[in-house]
Structure formats: structure tokens, C-alpha cells
Amino acid sequence: MTDPLIAAAAAARAHAFAPYSQFAVGAALEAADGRIFPGCNVESASYGLTICAERNALFRAVCEGARSFLRVAVVTDTEKPTPPCGACRQLLWEFAPDAEVLLANLRGDVVKYTVGELIPGAFDQQQLTARRG
């Protein structure tokens, strides 16, 4: 994996805690200033407390002061690269609507999208502030 963002996501995947699903995921976000923020999924026996790799990376980045992102990479050990879940797509839309999304697997396959392509008709702040006519 030559892309440093995909490499960071793959390295984060190695630290995933997925004893229930056995589905380890790594993600990494590239901020506009060039910093890379990795994250992995962390599962809980109380499934609702589980955090996805993409949100883990995003929350870490926000905690470090990043607010603008250019790219996100997601790495899984699947036959075909796996896209983010709906919750992760929503948060990526709110923080990085124009970001490139690199979906990769351990075989080296990479598929590219934009966040907008992954969540058409997204809900965001505009709907919250729209006035009824």
C-alpha cells in the first residue's frame, strides 16, 4: 500500500478490538493541513457502545483541532472494499462533504468515491435551519 493514508488506515486496523464481529476496520483522515488521523473500530458487549473506525478517526481529529478534511481511507479484510456505515457517512458529510473516500482491502484493491456519492440527499445543518414556507 503506497498511499500513506491507506497505510495509516491499515496500521490502525491492526489495533482494532473486534471480539464479537471479528470484523476489524481501520480508517484514517487526512486534514487540510496534511496531518493524518488514524482510527480503528472498538467493540463492546453492549453493541450500541461500539465505535466505528471512521468515527474514531474523526473524533480524534476533532479533539486535535482539525476541522477540514481532504481524504478518508477505510481498510478491511474483505473480498471487495467495504464502505462506511450510515452513521459514519453522516458524520463524514458534516465534516468533509467534498472529501475523497478511498476504500481498500488487504489485497490492494482500492475504490474511490466522494462523501457526496456515498450519501446522496444528505441531512445537514441546512435542514435544521430551513424555515417552512
The upper half-sphere exposure of residue 105, i.e. CA atoms within 13 Å in the direction of its Cβ, equals: 11
Tell me the C-alpha distance between 41 and 43, whole Å: 6
Contact 27, 74 (CB under 8 A): yes
End-to-end alpha-carbon separation of the chain, Å? Answer: 52
Choose, from 54, 64, 79, 94, the residue flagged as catalytic: 54
Give the mean model confidence (pLDDT) for residues 11-20: 98
pLDDT of 130 above 80 = no
Can you give the pLDDT at residue 107? 96
79 labelled catalytic: no
What number does CATH give the domain 4-129?
A: 3.40.140.10
Q: Structural domain boundaries of the chain?
A: 4-129
Give the mean model confidence (pLDDT) for residues 60-67: 98
For the entire predicted model, the pTM comes to: 0.93
Interval 39-60: pLDDT, tens: 999 999 999 999 999 999 999 9
Burial class (CB in 10 A: 0-12, 13-18, 19+), 82: middle
